[in-house]
Amino acid sequence: MAAVTSKTFTEGDVEVSEAIDFCRFYPTSMAAFDELKTVSYQPKGVVLVIPPWNFPLAIPVGGTVAALAGGNTVLLKPATVALPVAWEFAQCFWDAGVPKDALQVVCPAERQSLNWLSAHQSVKHIILTGGTDTAFRLLENAPRTPLSAETGGKNAMILTVNGDQDRAILNVVSSAFSNAGQKCSACSLLLVERSTYEDEIFQSKLRDAVLSLRTGGVWDPMNYVGPMIDHKNEKLQYAIDHLEPGESWLVAPEFIDKEGYILKPCVKWGVKPGSYTFRNELFAPLLSVVCIDSLEQGIEYANSSEYGLTAGLQSLNKAERELWKNKIEAGNLYINRGITGAIVRRQPFGGMKRSAFGGGIKAGGPNYVASFLRFKNATAYDIKDVEANYRQAWNNVFSKEEDVSHIYGEENTFRYLPLNSMALRIADADELNDVLLVMLAANQTKTKLTVSLSDKHHQLEVIKAKVATFDGMKLRLESEEDFINTMSTYERVRACSESLSDAVYQKAAELGLCIIDSIPLAEGRIELLHYLKEQSISFEYHRYGSIFEENKCCG
């Protein structure tokens, strides 16, 4: 990893540990689905795994193991620069007994071959970690193939006047500059409340902390910041060359090599919402500092981004923490700690908005392997029994915010949130029972559902009557063309089968919208997943020797 992707040994060591965690966790997570008696499952088939270069071991291992754990076969297409790492770990898998028929490595030099491969009818699911543009290209190329993608981030950490300044500086520096800022989870925006922002002592401490980071080649283990993978980062160069009104350098950028691979950590001060540096993911050791007048304004600024991957808050005030936790739009939330370094199962990883494509199920979490399985009802069911099953799944699993790690000094909870807006598009041939299951699931999860169908459906009157029995559920009688024109208003689309037209899938691909088209299930432990999004929250309450839960709330 150090030789081919310029990863420091410290970062590489952590990545090896994460890869091992994936190998241990995903197979054991299958047990929860083996125990379900109302459904059966089978593997989807061929899963195409497309990992990035910045985590050349952990992420491809994670995708590969998740697919293999469900009995699928894997085509691994690593980033070209990271091929040597992928080949080495694939060799380990083969040596351990994984058949080469089950795991193959392909690395075409040109995009055309990948386009052909990703659109091939044998590929039943695609796992991507990479750029948002890449996710859209894959969707456009194969709109009916399910895509689980973790993409970009423009991640913000907020520091209020109630935050511990010294601890906050430590957290932001590690989050912004580890791996030379080349993490999708990296902190690239620091939003600071005005009195702290204008405090010269705070500015001096932040400057000193950044300047203290040793920068250089990866072969010196004392270097904290290593080289970037690319010396032709046009977005970074533009951000360096252009200071917009009000902007200045708290720590000026400096390349220490002629080629421009090694950039010392730098801090741009006075960045404003809407500016180039505020909006664009730079993937480099450049931190932007923004002045805010209140926590509420900071949340508004952070949520204005099209991304929603990680987010951080530095505050010792309980009311501020609760407000931020319930208003911020991101998949992984971190309080009074850094916002990178998610650990398998402890902090399942994945974003919201343009940071994630697919069904909202997080990597390293309890449900991830289910994404690569095809479930079906194993027994006949009665609607009343389904209601009871859904209610039990909701009460036992999905309504709870739980900490499964139980670490002194750090609370790591995992919760499910309802979707803001979801559509059920009913095809003329769909069965009434399938439609009812979707309505029941949406109602149980408190997801706002719009039921869309043509006025020619053979069960129209029954469906209209059923919709009227659920509070907040809407009915739209519309043609498929009219439905396509409204798809941008939904967060996700549910279908009862794969019978929707290609035009619907093509529009979904254009919007980056996920269509769940598997047969609705009477088992709530699986079906309810489609109406929810997952969120991880990590709260470090250990401070000055206080490691017990009763001491975690200050202010």
Non-local (6+) Cβ contacts of 266 within 8 A are: 210, 240, 249, 251, 252, 253, 254, 285, 286, 287
pLDDT at 553: 47
* Total residues found in the chain within this entry: 555
What token pair was written down for 504?
Answer: 């619907």
Rounded-to-integer distance, Cα 221 and Cα 234, Å: 29
DSSP 8-state secondary structure symbol assigned to residue 353: E
- Give me the residue spans of the domains in the chain: 2-151+365-370, 155-348, 380-534
Give the DSSP H or E segment for 50. Answer: strand 46-50
SS3 label, residue 20: helix
Q: How distant, in Å, are the alpha carbons of 481, 536, 540, 548 from that of 552?
A: 54, 18, 8, 7
Q: How distant, in Å, are the alpha carbons of 56, 98, 144 from that of 73?
A: 20, 10, 19
Rounded-to-integer distance, Cα 60 and Cα 23, Å: 11
What token pair was written down for 261?
Answer: 């691979």
pLDDT at 545: 67
**What does 368-410 look like in DSSP terms, one character per residue?**
GGGGGEEEEE-S---HHHHHHHHHHHIIIIIT--B-SS-BTTE
SS3 label, residue 422: strand
SS3 label, residue 530: helix
Identity of residue 165 = Q
Domains 2-151+365-370 and 380-534 share a fold: yes
Query: Which class in CATH covers the domain with range 2-151+365-370?
Result: alpha beta
The CATH number, out of the four listed (3.30.70.1450, 3.40.605.10, 3.20.20.120, 3.30.1360.30), of the domain defined by the range 380-534? 3.40.605.10
Q: How distant, in Å, are the alpha carbons of 41, 332, 422, 549 from that of 386?
A: 19, 32, 21, 39
From first to last of its 555 residues, the chain has per-residue pLDDT tens of 999 999 999 999 999 999 999 999 999 999 999 999 999 999 999 999 999 999 999 999 999 999 999 999 999 999 999 999 999 999 999 999 999 999 999 998 788 889 999 999 999 999 999 999 999 999 999 999 999 999 999 999 999 999 999 999 999 999 999 999 999 999 999 999 999 999 999 999 999 999 999 999 999 999 999 999 999 999 999 999 999 999 999 999 999 999 999 999 999 999 999 999 999 999 999 999 999 999 999 999 999 999 999 999 999 999 999 999 999 999 999 999 999 999 999 999 999 999 999 999 999 999 999 999 999 999 999 999 999 999 999 999 999 999 999 998 999 999 999 999 999 999 999 999 999 999 999 999 999 999 999 999 999 999 999 999 999 999 999 999 999 999 999 999 999 999 999 999 999 999 999 999 999 999 999 999 999 999 999 999 987 666 665 555 444
Rounded-to-integer distance, Cα 447 and Cα 450, Å: 10
23: phi then psi, degrees, rounded to nearest 5: -60, -35
What token pair was written down for 310?
Answer: 């990680």
pLDDT at 548: 62
CATH architecture entry for 155-348: 3-Layer(aba) Sandwich (3.40)
Cβ atoms 272, 278 nearer than 8 A = yes
pLDDT at 555: 43
pLDDT at 184: 97
pLDDT at 462: 97
